[in-house]
A and B are shown apart, each in its own frame.
Chain A
């Protein structure tokens, strides 16, 4: 019997207000040798060009890219959703973008990423809800759990804005409630 989490193929992350700092602190703990792909939706003002990929790329050891439509998901790369477009995972493990209507005023939407990733990766997905000022991600995280994936919520006591972690906790009981350091250790232990 494999130890829990040993089959994880991908990590999906959602964050909103306070998210840049949380992402830097969380993924700053990962070493360059980290092999799992990381898919990130961070709510941003709807600007066409975002500097997020550059900001994270400069400060993290793992490579960071803005997700591009029909791009194959590569191991060990962190993909951030492009502003103004939903980000989904396709069955052939490529990424796709979409201009479907915003979900709860958000595009990209964390729920859209989580639900599509859960569909493809099933029990081999680990999804994380971080700091934020709305309830995006809660439904998606519950769906990840329903399909057998591992769910993680940032400890609301630590989150810069606790609304999003609390909304996720209100909908289902995750596998882990951890601070950023704890989540970082969890991820490092997946290798």
Chain B
């Protein structure tokens, strides 16, 4: 027999889908449950049903809940050895293309986007690259467009950047003001920020490289496979797929349609 809270959780997720077209139905259950319980205390709701009533009748309330359901934990050059491997193993191959399209799927507040743009600029590729940075959370996308990050985090980012094979002084890329670092806006001249859901939307362009890091861990196997299917469809022949450090194609039906280029760093190539 299902527990009442499990029934309520499913009803909430269904209500969100029917009313707002955000589809969390195939997210990993344990994490979404924790997020919703966190929301209950945040919004002082006694039950998930009470939260559902407020969310259903108040779009503003839904937007607040969405901030808790999505997990904006990110940093620039997260896992430096990953970016070093992209620089050393992937960039030489990317340089053979006359023009490039790169998709950063689930870009959250933009840290991955600016990291990639900096790497591409240093490798002389940014001018001929179009980057699509997509996410389901409009507030995160808005923040990503601003390119303003808390200065207190920049010290860690600087260290990451250096370990990732950065060629300049990291401070060349931002100006510090008060407690914030504002990143060079020319980094995002070729970036298109767009609302896109891996759960409900389809492929919008052919790409040479897709970066989707620490997004798929929140999906169940079925939704992971949907996302891998989109990536497979979007990537050109021998295109690159890069994932988060604990994400893998090993348990997916698409595992056989990619080969690892640098397995330890989760860099794959479409077969």
Q: Which residues of A contact B (CB under 8 A)?
A: 48, 68-72, 82, 85, 88-92, 94, 96-101, 112, 115-116, 119
Contact A88/B245 with A70-B224, A96-B217 known, Cβ cut-off 8 Å: no
Q: Pick the contact of B31 from A48, A91, A92, A96 — CB < 8 Å? A: A96
Contacts of B73 in A (CB 8 A): 99-101
Contact A48 B79 (CB under 8 A): yes
Q: How far is the CA of A91 from the CA of B221 in the complex (A)?
A: 12
Contacts of B30 in A (CB 8 A): 88-90, 96, 98, 116, 119
Q: How far is the CA of A69 from the CA of B246 in the complex (A)?
A: 7
Tell me the minimal C-beta distance from B29 to chain A in angstroms. Answer: 5
Q: How far is the CA of A94 from the CA of B217 in the complex (A)?
A: 12
Contact B220 A98 (CB under 8 A): no
Which of A89, A97, A115 is most buried by chain B, counting CB atoms within 10 A of its CB? Answer: A97
For B55-88 the 0/1 string (1 means CB < 8 A from A) is 0000000000000000101000001010000000
Q: Pick the contact of B250 from A68, A90, A91 — CB < 8 Å? A: A68
For B90-105 the 0/1 string (1 means CB < 8 A from A) is 0000000000000000
A-B interface, 6 closest residue pairs, ranked by CB to CB distance from nearest:
A88-B30, A116-B30, A96-B28, A70-B251, A99-B73, A98-B31
Tell me the minimal C-beta distance from A85 to chain B in angstroms. Answer: 6
Contact B251 A98 (CB under 8 A): no
Contacts of B214 in A (CB 8 A): 99
Contacts of B218 in A (CB 8 A): 98
Contacts of A70 in B (CB 8 A): 220-221, 224, 248, 251
Q: Pick the contact of B246 from A68, A112, A115 — CB < 8 Å? A: A68
Which of B28, B35, B218 is most buried by chain A, counting CB atoms within 10 A of its CB? Answer: B28
Closest residue on chain B to residue A113 by CB atoms: B30
Interface size range on B against A: 20 to 34
Contact A100 B31 (CB under 8 A): yes
Q: Which residues of B contact A (CB under 8 A)?
A: 28-31, 33-35, 71, 73, 79, 81, 214, 216-218, 220-221, 224, 245-248, 250-251
Contacts of B33 in A (CB 8 A): 116, 119
Contact A97 B217 (CB under 8 A): yes
Known: A70-B220, A116-B30. 5 other contacts (CB 8 A): A69-B217, A70-B224, A70-B251, A98-B218, A99-B214
Tell me the minimal C-beta distance from B74 to chain A in angstroms. Answer: 9
Q: How far is the CA of A96 from the CA of B250 in the complex (A)?
A: 14
Q: How far is the CA of A98 from the CA of B245 in the complex (A)?
A: 12
Contact B29 A91 (CB under 8 A): yes
Q: Pick the contact of B248 from A69, A98, A99 — CB < 8 Å? A: A69
Closest residue on chain A to residue B224 by CB atoms: A70
Contact B28 A88 (CB under 8 A): yes
Q: How far is the CA of A54 from the CA of B250 in the complex (A)?
A: 20
Closest residue on chain A to residue B221 by CB atoms: A70
Contacts of B248 in A (CB 8 A): 68-70
Contacts of A94 in B (CB 8 A): 221
Between A and B, 18 residue pairs with Cβ closer than 8 Å are A48-B79, A48-B245, A68-B246, A69-B217, A69-B247, A70-B221, A70-B248, A72-B251, A96-B28, A96-B30, A96-B217, A97-B217, A97-B246, A112-B34, A115-B34, A116-B33, A119-B30, A119-B33
Tell me the minimal C-beta distance from A83 to chain B in angstroms. Answer: 10
Q: How far is the CA of A90 from the CA of B31 in the complex (A)?
A: 9
Contact B71 A100 (CB under 8 A): yes
Contact A100 B251 (CB under 8 A): no
Q: How far is the CA of A115 from the CA of B34 in the complex (A)?
A: 10
Contacts of A91 in B (CB 8 A): 29
Tell me the minimal C-beta distance from B163 to chain A in angstroms. Answer: 11
Contact A82 B246 (CB under 8 A): yes
Contacts of A69 in B (CB 8 A): 216-217, 246-248
Contact B251 A90 (CB under 8 A): no
Contacts of A112 in B (CB 8 A): 34
